[in-house]
Amino acid sequence: MGTAWFAVCGVLFVVFQVVAAEKSSCVPGFESELFIFKVSRKHLRQGTRLGKVGFTDCTDRTRFLFSTDDSRFMVQTDGVVTVKRQVVLHEGHRDFFIHSWDSQGQRLTVPAMVLYHGHHHGNTEHHHEGHNSNSQLHDQTQMDSATKQDTVAPQVPILNFPKSSGGLKRRKRDWVIPPLNVAENSRGPYPLQLAQIRSDADKIRKIIYSITGPGADQHPVNLFTMDRHTGSLFVTQELDREKQDEYKLQAHAVVEGGSGNAEDPMDIIIKVTDQNDNKPIFNQSSYVGEVPEAANKGFEVIQVVATDADEPNNDNSDIKYRIESQEPKQPSPEMFAINPTTGVIRVNISGLDREKIPQYTLKVVAADYSGHGLVGAAEVTIKVTDSNDHAPVFADPTYSATVEENKADALVVRMSVTDGDEPHSPAWNAKFRIIGGDPGNLFTVKTGSNKQEGIITTAQGLDFEMTSKHTLLVTVENEAPFAIPLTTSTATVVVTVKDVNEPPIFEPKEKYISKREDIAVDTPLVLYTASDPDTARHQKVMYKIISDPAGWLDIDEDTGSIKVRKDMDRESPFVKEEKYTALIGAYDDDPISATGTGTLLIKLEDVNDNPPSTEERSFKVCNKKPAPQHLTVTDKDGPGFTFPYSVSLRDSAKANWTARMNGTRTGIILTLNTDLESGKYNVAMSISDNQGLSQVSTVTAEVCDCTGEEVTCLEKRGAATNLPVILGILGGVLLLLMLVLLLLLFAKQRKPQKGPPLIQDDDIRDDIFYYDEEGGGEEDQDFDLGVLHRGLDNRPDVFRNDVAPAFMPAPIYKPRPANPDDIGNFIDDNLKAADNDPTAPPYDSLLVFDYEGGGSEAGSLSSLNSSSDGDQDYDCLSDWGPRFKKLADMYGGGDDDML
């Protein structure tokens, strides 16, 4: 008994443990397997609250990110489901899916249904029976469609970095973070918080958060910012969906003070949701259409088109058209109707009368939000045109004309018509058709510029020998169809073909033959003849060569037999793609001869008549460890007479070079075997094709003093070998310069020494001015003219010859003549102008000696003269030194007085 009781207690204990474990366990997900939102009407406007979904991720979070697969519904972070844009429940219900993510980044999905309460949905009853535990949730979601959003304080979603599993395992697609929706033109306040980024590592370490991408650190910079400590994501200003509808950022989490990322970067997509901020705009501000007065109801007049810059496939861009006014309103204010979706304007009521009301003006508006939103307008002018109730009639029922044969686009006849409808209208403008007598389409008819004339021309040349007369039946109609049944007018045109001399015709037009290129001269090639289409004239046909670029052919004038005149060559530049083209002429013996042409194409079959040769004519190579030289072999002959080639060296080239063919035997590998001196060498080789035809090709090899493949050729420096000679020459030049300097120094030392100055600085006497500066002239540039003009700055009236006078005009020199015969007068005139030019250098040719110095008390030297009155004793001048010897002789009665 005790053992049984113990067993029962143990079983009960285990059961209680299991029940307690079940109660304490938490499974992330939605609170129901299906959400049904019942509404009281089928038309659901934007912003209508439908209900609320329950979701948990087994944490203390109360707000989550949700998304739906139907863009017409949205789920807020608190689980409230609202209508994003207008919905019409045509079938009484709308099914969609709701998605959310748990704390591990795993996406969870639940089906949802919006049900009109008057509609019986079979699956709905079955769901209620199988999920009684959710009846409270269903009751909660059954609310009137006019209920608006709740008053829960706004709370931003928290985005956790997805946890990555160990090893190199790709993250699942369900772990992608859902996009954040931000309404455009939101008024803030800014910065406006959008979400918060969280890392599980912030529980044990300090995490620094940041974002990168366009809108963060790229243009537009700082549109989105993030608090580096809390991970809060902000938008700093209004967004405009029409400029950019989506931003892709990356969130980063790093350990403060550490290195590396605490989490892998997380992609954040911010979608800018549309607001109705753009009104419809017509592609034209005004439209003009036309409608015939006899138009019936439903006749399409014109289509207007408006566009909306808001998000496509959205109520904000759902445009509806309507006619707002009609002027005049007679005979009915609703004479026209517009398709609200396409914008096509049609006649709504028949009975238009152009004679009473020739024109209507409509004001058409386009409104978005299915016709209840922003409005754009345009003006439509509809002109009522005349109906085609008169048929055009030919002025003459019969026309005749004569046309020469073989003339295309030749004028045949002009036919006039009359029409009683409004001139220059579609009901008056005529169009013509040939309805009989032209099975070969030899004629065309078009309407003249005045729209009342039919012009018949030949579409191709007529043939007199085939048909000498054509009878055409022509009808005329209007551009606009007849408004009432009318009789169509017709006219008969008789065309007579005039016979002309036609050129002979070659058959075929191009003749193709094939011959060997080495065919012998005077060998017949082909008989190429032509026939005269003028069979009734019995004319003789003769032949000539019109074009023979190479001059290889000759033709018999009477028979048309063509033979070889000169040797032909397939490799000639006149041969294109192995074909030689010649133009042959055939002419008749009519007084006005006509010439026809035929083309002879000769395919020249190749023979082995060109030996191979190398493309390269020269190359450079080092004399030490030279690199092999690859030479390309070419042969003008065609396939079968070219490679494989063979090569052999000739003459002295065998001693220093080796030559062999490459693997494909299409090129030569030439190698230098001897250390040759720098210079240029000719290498002769005999190259043969596969038929043994050969010739000697010579290439020039420039051997350079270098090593390996990098060839560096230096010029021979002769100065290096003659360095002692150059040094000797430089030494001799230096010795010669030193000798010249010594001679100059010796000559300077032998100059007479100047004695003591005649006048000491402390001697008190009249000022004596020195005039030993005579001016340098053109060959002496070391003189100082300032000595001759001391004080002239104080006398502007004294003219200075050492500077160009600024107050005198310079003469005008004549330009160089274009005619060489006038060059003599040009030189004489400009020479005279230069001689009389006061501004032309040199300016020191005349020196001024008439001024003794500014402020000087000394008298003028002009008082000195050569008189011998003896009133003054000048013998003292002899004591003043050699410089005053001339004065002493002139005034002291020296030797000069005896002369």
Element housing 364 (H / E):
strand 359-367
Q: Kindly tell me if the per-residue pLDDT of 321 is higher than 90.
A: yes
pLDDT category of residue 294 using cuts at 50, 70 and 90:
confident
Q: Kindly tell me if the per-residue pLDDT of 756 is higher than 60.
A: no
Mean pLDDT value of segment 857-867 = 49
- What three-state secondary structure class fits 134? helix
pLDDT at 721: 47
Q: Kindly tell me if the per-residue pLDDT of 306 is higher than 60.
A: yes
Cβ atoms of 448 and 498 within 8 Å: the answer is no
Q: Kindly tell me if the per-residue pLDDT of 885 is higher than 90.
A: no
Q: Kindly tell me if the per-residue pLDDT of 455 is higher than 90.
A: yes
Does residue 587 or residue 768 have the better pLDDT? 587
How do residues 508-523 score in pLDDT, each as one tens digit?
Answer: 888 888 888 888 888 8
pLDDT at 335: 93
Cβ atoms of 151 and 49 within 8 Å: the answer is no
Question: Best-predicted range by mean pLDDT among 100-109, 375-384, 617-626, 854-863?
Answer: 375-384
Cβ atoms of 543 and 503 within 8 Å: the answer is no
CA nearest 529: which of 540, 515, 517?
A: 540
Q: CB-based burial of residue 560 (10 Å sphere; 0-12 exposed, 13-18 middle, 19+ buried)?
A: buried
pLDDT at 797: 53
Mean pLDDT value of segment 298-316 = 91
Mean pLDDT value of segment 878-894 = 70
pLDDT at 804: 56
Cβ atoms of 316 and 373 within 8 Å: the answer is yes
The Cα angle at residue 70 between residues 68 and 72, in degrees rounded to 5: 110
Specify the residue for token string 């400009």.
830
Residue 282 is classified by DSSP as E
Of 284-298, 313-327, 424-438, 527-541, least confident by mean pLDDT is 527-541
How do residues 126-167 score in pLDDT, each as one tens digit?
Answer: 333 333 333 333 333 333 333 333 333 346 778 887 765 444
Mean pLDDT value of segment 830-840 = 77
Q: Kindly tell me if the per-residue pLDDT of 373 is higher than 80.
A: yes
pLDDT at 249: 94
Helix, strand, coil percentages (3-state) for the chain, rounded to 5, are: 15, 35, 50
Q: Kindly tell me if the per-residue pLDDT of 838 is higher than 50.
A: yes
Mean pLDDT value of segment 261-281 = 89
pLDDT category of residue 388 using cuts at 50, 70 and 90:
confident
Cβ atoms of 802 and 778 within 8 Å: the answer is no
pLDDT category of residue 3 using cuts at 50, 70 and 90:
very low
pLDDT category of residue 854 using cuts at 50, 70 and 90:
low
Q: Kindly tell me if the per-residue pLDDT of 370 is higher than 50.
A: yes
Q: Kindly tell me if the per-residue pLDDT of 440 is higher than 70.
A: yes
DSSP string, 525-593: EEE--EE-S-TTT-PPEEEEEEE-TT--EEE-TTT-EEEE-S---TTSTT-BTTEEEEEEEEEE-SSS-
pLDDT at 142: 38
CA nearest 638: which of 570, 568, 567?
A: 570
Cβ atoms of 51 and 40 within 8 Å: the answer is no
Of 11-25, 68-82, 128-142, 412-426, least confident by mean pLDDT is 128-142
Of 328-342, 398-412, 424-438, 529-543, least confident by mean pLDDT is 529-543
Mean pLDDT value of segment 599-617 = 83
Residue 48 neighbours by CB distance under 10 Å: 24
Q: Kindly tell me if the per-residue pLDDT of 547 is higher than 60.
A: yes
Mean pLDDT value of segment 422-442 = 91
Cα 776 from Cα 782, distance rounded (Å): 7
Region of 640 (left: φ > 0; alpha: ψ -120 to 50; beta: rest) is left
Cα 698 from Cα 675, distance rounded (Å): 20
Of 37-46, 150-159, 418-427, 433-442, least confident by mean pLDDT is 150-159
Cα 512 from Cα 514, distance rounded (Å): 7
Question: Best-predicted range by mean pLDDT among 346-355, 451-460, 760-769, 846-855?
Answer: 451-460
How do residues 203-241 score in pLDDT, each as one tens digit?
Answer: 888 889 999 999 999 999 999 999 998 999 999 999 988
Radius of gyration of the chain (CA): 58
pLDDT at 22: 44
pLDDT at 498: 86
Cα 267 from Cα 270, distance rounded (Å): 10
Q: Kindly tell me if the per-residue pLDDT of 190 is higher than 50.
A: yes
- What three-state secondary structure class fits 736? helix
